[in-house]
Amino acid sequence: MTPAARLQAAADILDQLSGTRATAEAVLKQWGQNNRYAGSKDRRAIADRVYRCTRARSRLLWAMQKTEKSTGQGRALVLASLALIDGAPLDEIETLFSGAGYGPKPLTDEEKSQISAADGDAPLWVKTGLPEFVVGRFQQQFGDDWAAEATDLMTPRAPIDLRVNGARTARDEMLKVLGEEGLSPQPTPFSRFGIRLPSEPPPNLVKLSAYQQGLIEIQDEGSQLAAFLAGAGLLPGASKVVDFCAGGGGKTLALAQMMDGKGEIYACDVVEKRLRAIEPRLQRAGASAHFVHFFDPEDETQLELLRGADLVLVDAPCSGSGTWRRHPEEAHRLNEAEVERLHGLQTHILSRAASCVKPGGRLVYVTCSVLDDENAATADVFEAQNPAFDALPIHSLARMASLFVDNTARLTELSAGHRLRLTPHTTSTDGFFIAAYTRTS
Ligand SMILES: C[S@@+](CC[C@H](N)C(=O)[O-])C[C@H]1O[C@@H](n2cnc3c(N)ncnc32)[C@H](O)[C@@H]1O
């Protein structure tokens, strides 16, 4: 493909992304399957342009005087990215936008004046790349650090974290194996089973024999920490663990690693299809599938069977705003009404999950959001409505999980008692929120 044809393809993909809930990764993959003539270099260049435009979306649309509702966003984004991110001069852009072959149509006079105009004094939400309604929240939540938090959440290409399956191998061994594969693995600072790989060049992990043998799983270090701090398998005599919102089982697998074949995990979700994806993952990890049961926690009869749990982990549905560095396209799909809806759903799920915890048992609430509406505000409502639950300080969870969690002093420093917020800026992880409770009666 010519460079111009790649730009046109990127513009088309960006237009498709605006009209769907699918991830950029999925849309790019589909495009590759439908356009077999595109080679791997073409696909890389197109994906790179799509991500570059998506990360800087607010700024680029603003420069082209487009809104989220305007048509022709793809073309505007690509054009503005050449001028404002790559710093390409107008004559170079005009050569690419000549209309020849499969390239984009020539520039209009309006487009020429838009890309030639200075960036101007863009509003804060434009400069940071955050959705407009989130800026005020960030200023309130993070004070002077808000812009650094926003930049680290929105700009970079996040590294890839792996969790080493400690039941089968050791982290040092995997560091060696991955190094021999030509990758540049580093131990992560907080999870004792974490390995971090640079995102460039993108490693083909699923092809590695270590992956196929279930020795490593792809899991952000923040997610590993949430599961490890919950402490499955560490509570004396505890055997019944409920993963209340198990989804595809990322945390279920980490819980299974901690439990080391003892006790039972009840993996729940309202979407059964998601739960079914856990089985092959458990098999690959060598975690005995027979001790995992699948449940729909919105079904009263099934909820009854979950009662008396030693530990209930609630990895609640959320905006996913903590992962915007990986899914920048999601940021511009979120709005205030959705955040409000999620807060209501989280409160509902937490109260049902709490009813399953036995006296003396533990409840851990987790989101991968960086918004207080879904974190502190949800925890506040839960605490006000559930006096039988006492706060469980993060430092005691970390101490208990010290075989799995390192650098506990830093985690304690970042925590506010029983609540912990992880962010790309503070912990170099995805954004996560963790709150822990013990049931007193
Ligand atoms: C953040 S995801 C879980 C991710 C998963 N724990 C992991 O680590 O891979 C939240 C999950 O909650 C599920 N969910 C939504 N409503 C629910 C409900 N009322 N009760 C339980 N789970 C629910 C969603 O289907 C989704 O799979």
Chain mean pLDDT for the chain: 93
pLDDT tens, position by position, 227-270 = 999 999 888 777 899 999 999 999 999 999 998 888 889 999 99
Share of the chain above pLDDT 70, in %: 98
> In which band, very low, low, confident or very high, does the pLDDT at 291 lie, cut at 50, 70 and 90?
low
Distance (Å) from CA 80 to ligand 1 centroid:
38
pLDDT (0 to 100) of residue 210: 97
pLDDT (0 to 100) of residue 119: 62
Tokens of 345: 């759903």
CATH value of 221-439 in 3.30.230.80, 3.40.50.300, 3.10.100.10, 3.40.50.150? 3.40.50.150
Find out whether the beta carbon of 298 lies less than 6 Å from any atom of ligand 1: yes
Per domain, the residue ranges of the chain are 3-120, 160-218, 221-439
pLDDT (0 to 100) of residue 288: 65
pLDDT (0 to 100) of residue 316: 98
Find out whether the beta carbon of 361 lies less than 6 Å from any atom of ligand 1: no
Q: Where does residue 18 rank: exposed (0-12), middle (13-18), buried (19+ CB within 10 A)?
A: middle
Is the predicted pLDDT of residue 290 greater than 60, yes or no? no
Distance (Å) from CA 310 to ligand 1 centroid:
20
Cβ contacts of residue 305 below 8 Å, gap of 6+?
Answer: 266, 295
Find out whether the beta carbon of 349 lies less than 6 Å from any atom of ligand 1: yes
Known binding-site residues for S-adenosyl-L-methionine equal 269, 296, 315
Find out whether the beta carbon of 247 lies less than 6 Å from any atom of ligand 1: yes
Q: How far apart are CA 296 and CA 77, in angstroms?
A: 43
Distance (Å) from CA 249 to ligand 1 centroid:
9
pLDDT tens, position by position, 29-82 = 999 999 999 999 999 999 999 999 998 888 899 889 888 778 889 999 999 999
> In which band, very low, low, confident or very high, does the pLDDT at 120 lie, cut at 50, 70 and 90?
low
Please name every residue paired with 266 in a beta bridge, in sequence order, or none if there are none.
242, 293
Hey, which residues are catalytic here? 368
Pocket test for ligand 1, best of 221, 266, 270 (most atoms within 8 A of CB): 270
The count of C-alpha atoms lying within 13 angstroms of the C-alpha of 227, restricted to the half-sphere facing its C-beta, is 27
Is the predicted pLDDT of residue 289 greater than 70, yes or no? no
- What is the fold, at CATH topology level, of the domain defined by 160-218? Alpha-Beta Plaits (3.30.70)
Answer with the residue of higher pLDDT: 21 or 104.
Answer: 104
Tokens 């710093």 -> residue = 87
pLDDT (0 to 100) of residue 234: 86
pLDDT (0 to 100) of residue 138: 97
Structure pTM? 0.89
Nearest atom (ligand 1) to Cα of 247: 27
Domain pair 160-218 / 221-439, same fold: no
Q: What average pLDDT does the segment 200-212 reach?
A: 91
Q: Name the residue at shortest CA distance from atom 13 of ligand 1.
A: 245
Share of the chain above pLDDT 90, in %: 76
Find out whether the beta carbon of 413 lies less than 6 Å from any atom of ligand 1: no
Find out whether the beta carbon of 222 lies less than 6 Å from any atom of ligand 1: no
Is the predicted pLDDT of residue 363 greater than 80, yes or no? yes
Distance (Å) from CA 315 to ligand 1 centroid:
6
Find out whether the beta carbon of 131 lies less than 6 Å from any atom of ligand 1: no
Distance (Å) from CA 272 to ligand 1 centroid:
10
